[in-house]
Structure 1
Amino acid sequence: MKRQKRDRLERAQSQGYKAGLNGRSMDDCPFQQMDAKSNWLGGWRDAREDRQSGLIK
């Protein structure tokens, strides 16, 4: 049974979230395409908000 690959934009969001949790800078975004970059930054912002609100330590 073949596994379906995740959408690249979903993957960018996930990577951005992980980067935000690890305290990386927003300037560390590895994506150049605007759609993937905006998803990465969205994930990064979500993680930063979660850390500040105390959901994740």
Structure 2
Amino acid sequence: MKRQKRDRLARAQSQGYKAGLNGRSQDMCPHQQGDARSYWLGGWRDAIGDRESGLGLYSYK
């Protein structure tokens, strides 16, 4: 049985979250447009909020 890949939108959100925790700019989003960009930016915004709340660099969602 083949292993199913993670949902691409969930992966985009996760990658955005990690980028935000590492202090990267939102301009570093690898997606040009569409749903994946929205999810990446959503994850990035969540991470920026978490950083401002005092969560450490090693706290991944």
Moved over 3 A (4+): none
The Cα of 1:2 is off from its aligned counterpart by 2.9
Q: Match of 2:7?
A: 7
Q: CA RMSD in A?
A: 1.1
For 1:49 and 1:34, how far apart are their aligned partners in 2? 23
Structure 2-normalised TM-score?
0.84
- Unaligned 5+ segments in structure 2 are none
Task: Could you tell me which runs of 5 or more consecutive residues in structure 1 were left unpaired when the two chains were aligned.
Answer: none
- State the match for 2:17 in structure 1: 17
What percentage of aligned pairs have identical amino acids? 79
**Larger helix proportion, structure 1 or 2?**
1
